[in-house]
Structure 1
Amino acid sequence: MIKHKEQRVGVLVDVSNMYHSAKNLYGKKVNFREILTQAVADRKLIRATAYVIKTENNDEMSFFEALSQQGFEVKMKDLQIFAGGAKKGDWDVGITIDAIKLGDKLDVIILVSGDGDYLPVVSYLQNNKGCLVEIMAFRKTASSRLVEESDDFTDLGASKKFLIKPTRIYSKKDLIDSGLFCFTALEN
């Protein structure tokens, strides 16, 4: 596919899909800054949106802020917890609606997800809006049909630049439980 600098592009990132794919496949985190840079590829960025799930304890707020500082509009949705304890948090419908709304304003929509649920919107954007649809995902977890139907596919697993080593902040309890932290109590 030919990419040229006059193309208006939008980048829509299914953060949860990317996070879980990178974690399960490589034990690493995703370099969203590099994904955005490669997705835009010197074209005209009109919109970059990262769709995230917010948990009850808000541990991920600094991550959301980092996404914002990297140039993403961050859209948040609360994690749903059902009576039986099951949890659900996805943006499939929201991303689909935004993609359709943006279809008239863009030449290219870059969907950063491997979720096959996006097949109908990919087809709609190509056939009804005249958009090119590029997919960026980890090939090992991406829907093969989604890859086939896209106008261009970037395998995020083919280059280490799309992954970063996770850093972990250990709590005092984690350190004590692991034996890495010890203390002695002084008796009076």
Structure 2
Amino acid sequence: MTFYPNERIGLFIDGANLYSAARALDFDIDYRKLLEEFKKRGRLVRANYYTALLENDDYTPIRPLVDWLDYNGFAIVTKAAREYTDEHGRRRIKGDMDVEIAVDVLESASYLDHILLFSGDGDFRKVVEAVQRRGVRVSVVSTLKSQPPMIADDLRRQADNFIELAELGRLVGRERRAREDFAPAASSDDDDA
């Protein structure tokens, strides 16, 4: 990872995608360590965490994480998840945050030097290309080491730098908990990765 001491850095975390990738690698993200790691690497200007929440549930497993992140330096971007039943009668949750992430990444190109996108979703390739044309470096954080890999090949190739989550996990990971307390409530069913 190449960082410059005075560059303005922004983290854009697709919560459901990062959770799935870390889970596939059998560790949890320690978000305090994650913030500290990138504060050491430049001027951390923005740290956004995106997730969909089930609004009608009395308790959602991700709420404690979202509350902690909100009080500890992250900007939380949420929207209501939609619940539906699939063709096999299973309860499914849909909460795609791609548009919110893409708009925020585009807007941040005017005040950031380096964007770190924590997602392997190939839908982000075009927004990565757009901010690169504005002179912003983009690093994508995901994994090739899971089965199947969680990073879309075209997104990895478009990025200025690919950061393997398994390697970053040595700095910002912790052993997985037995309980699923901090599991994101929603994930996109149509991710390209």
The match for 1:155 is: 164
Give the drift of 1:21.
Answer: 1.7
Task: For structure 2, list consecutive stretches of 5 or more residues without a partner in the other structure.
Answer: 181-193
Residues 70-89 of structure 1: matches in 2 within 5 Å?
Answer: 70-82=72-84, 85-89=91-95
Structure 1's unaligned 5+ residue stretches are: 171-188
Once the two structures are superposed, the pairs formed by residues 38-187 of structure 1 within 5 Å of their partners are: 38-55=37-54, 56=57, 57-82=59-84, 85-127=91-133, 129-140=134-145, 141-158=150-167, 159-168=169-178
Residue 168 (structure 1) shift? 4.5
Higher mean alpha-carbon deviation, 57-66 vs 90-99, is at 57-66
What TM-score do the two structures reach when normalised by structure 1? 0.79
Structure holding more helix per residue:
1
Q: Which has the higher contact order (CA 8 A, sep 6+)?
A: 2
For 1:179, the equivalent position in structure 2 comes to none
- Maintained 8 Å contact 1:53/1:78: yes
Aligned residue type for 2:52: I
1:34 Cα shift?
A: 2.9
Aligned partner of 2:170: which letter? K
Q: CA RMSD in A?
A: 2.2
In 2, Cα distance between equivalents of 1:8 and 1:79: 32
**Offset, 1:113:** 0.9
Name the count of aligned residue pairs. Answer: 168
TM-score by length of 2: 0.77
Residues 93-150 of structure 1 show CA distances to partners (whole Å, capped at 9, x for unaligned) of 10000011111111111111111110000001101x2111111112231112212211
SS at match of 2:151: coil
32-41 vs 46-55, which deviates more?
A: 32-41
Is the CA contact (8 Å cut-off) linking 2:38 and 2:44 kept in structure 1? no
The percentage of counterpart residues that share the same residue type is: 26
SS at match of 1:3: coil
Q: Which amino acid aligns with 1:99?
A: V
Question: Which one has a bigger Cα radius of gyration?
Answer: 1
**CA positional deviation for 1:2:** 4.5
